[in-house]
Amino acid sequence: MGIALKAIPDTSIFDLRVSRRGYRLNKLCASLCSPANREAFKQDEEGYMPGFDLSEKEKHLIRKRDFAGMIDAGMNIYFMLKIGSVTGNGLYRMGAQMRGESYEQFLGTRNIQGAV
Amino acid sequence: MARVVAGIGLSHVPSIGPVVDRGRQGDPAWKPLFDAYVPVREWLARLKPDVAIVVYNDHGADFLFDKYPTFALGVAERYRIADEGFGTRPLPEVRGDAELSTHLAESLVYEHEFDLTVCQELAVEHGFLVPMNLCFPHGASGWPVACIPLQVNVIQHPLPTARRCYKLGQALRKSISSYEKDLRIVILGTGGMSHQLQGKRFGFMNEAFDQMFLQKIESSPDELADITHQEIMEQAGAEAVELIMWLTMRGALSENARRIHRHYYAPMTTGMGLITFEDGQPKAM
């Protein structure tokens, strides 16, 4: 961490170092803000990824839908929501995975489960 | 002369968008939230604001990490609805007030040393639109108020400090009061409250912190402006730093602004707070 920020357990603090590390992953996600690109990604994920200069490890995280790994690799959560959505993984499914729980287990920890 | 008539602090949770678009406001899980806004809209209808300045953050829809402004002010006549990755919501384009925006940009830069990024084009997404849905529902002829988006970097550290956001609000108040037209202005400070959306700590909330924040933003905002990003993230989750935008709203109000509504609901992963203030009233004797 840089000036004024200290690490917090089980938490990613998205600073410039993390942002630089995840730059290409976040750029791919940003591209999914257009219907045509979302369709292209869905049709041919392997054909879509080479346009973003991802490392083999980063591509692997996407293939595996490894959301905890993506965060560690510098993905910003708000950008990750876009690849979550296009792959059928909404926020709560991604969250359950990051917590190491099933979706149902995670919902069981919430105050009002119907507010989804 | 333009003046601030009200300020509202409220959360901008994205899941509220589809609830509005599908007309599910009456669902048992959502009703407590939407019911809290019924008196707020009645109050706003009485106040009749002309312009809403919405202090919000983008979530990777229009502001990307290739260039990321700390403060960005919309200076356009209209603002598009953004596709933030889930399709463009069926909402009317947002009407701006370019003349007022231009005055604010000039006054903030020349007189108050806030060197903002200015945007001739800006597309708005849930950070802006959900608060509008809750406070100013659109009709067939569009939104009932003109809007000025004020985007704040709360997602890529270094973020502006809470104190800096508070001072921006104070500067904004002065800039508004030097505008010649007789306009009634409401400031919306949006975001949070407690939430963390990544890591093993996903889903962390802290109602005690949120209630403290609601109390202090009413009673001792100057003291609250001392809070650090670290304190907010530790106590309320990493994504709760959005709360610093509420301080811009509070800074734009006078000391004797009167609190009108206060509500809190935390169904899933975000503390959804609401607080309203009315301003421009004579000080109580």
Note if B126 is an active site residue.
Answer: yes
CATH number of the A21-107 domain = 1.10.700.10
- The answer to whether B107 and B89 have CB atoms below 8 angstroms apart is no
What distance in Å separates the CA atoms of residue B60 and residue B84, rounded to the nearest whole number? Answer: 7
B199/A71 touch (CB, cutoff 8 Å), yes or no: yes
Question: Distance between CA atoms of B256 and B236, rounded to whole angstroms?
Answer: 28
Tell me which DSSP letter residue A52 carries.
Answer: G
Point out the residue among B202, B238, B268 whose CB comes nearest to the CB of A13.
B238
Distance between B198 CA and the closest CA of chain A, angstroms = 6
Give catalytic status of residue B157 as yes or no: no
Complex ipTM value? 0.96
Instruction: Give the pLDDT score at B282.
Output: 52
Rg (Cα) of chain B, in Å, rounded? 17
Chain A: residue nearest B157 by CA? Answer: A15
Question: What does the radius of gyration of chain A's CA atoms come to, in whole angstroms?
Answer: 15
What secondary structure letter does DSSP report for A34? S
Q: How far is A2 from chain B (nearest CA, A)?
A: 9
Question: Does B234 contact A at CB distance below 8 Å?
Answer: yes
DSSP tag of A50: G
Q: Answer yes or no: is pLDDT of A24 > 50.
A: yes
- More confident call, A2 vs A13: A13
Residue numbers in A near B201 (CB within 8 A): 8-11
Work out the number of other CB atoms within 10 angstroms of the CB of residue B274.
22
CA distance B272 to B130: 12
- What was the pLDDT predicted at A114? 82
pTM: 0.97
Strand partners, B3: B184
B203 touches chain A (CB under 8 A): yes
Residues of B in contact with A81 (CB under 8 A): 14, 59-60, 85
pLDDT, chain A, mean:
96
C-beta atoms of A85 and B65 within 8 A: no
State the best of B24, B25, B65 to mutate against chain A, taking most chain A CBs within 10 Å: B65
Give B38's contacts (C-beta < 8 A, 6+ positions apart).
Answer: none
Q: How far is CA B68 from CA A19, A48, B155, B234, in A?
A: 11, 26, 10, 25
Chain A contact for B85, CB < 8 A?
A: yes
Do the Cβ atoms of B265 and B275 come closer than 8 Å?
no
Question: For residue B90, how many other CB atoms are within 10 A of its CB?
Answer: 7
Residue boundaries of the structural domains of chain B: 3-278
**Domain B3-278 annotated CATH 2.40.10.10:** no
Q: What is the pLDDT of residue A2?
A: 59
A99 vs B contacts (CB less than 8 Å): 200, 202-203
**Is B239 close to A86, i.e. CB distance below 8 A?**
no
Task: Give the residue among B144, B101, B151 at the shortest CA–CA distance from B122.
Answer: B151
Q: pLDDT tens track of chain B, all 285 residues?
A: 999 999 999 999 999 999 999 999 999 999 999 999 999 999 999 999 999 999 999 999 999 999 999 999 999 999 999 999 999 999 999 999 999 999 999 999 999 999 999 999 999 999 999 999 999 999 999 999 999 999 999 999 999 999 999 999 999 999 999 999 999 999 999 999 999 999 999 999 999 999 999 999 999 999 999 999 999 999 999 999 999 999 999 999 998 899 999 999 999 999 999 999 999 765 444
| 3-class secondary-structure state, position A13 | coil
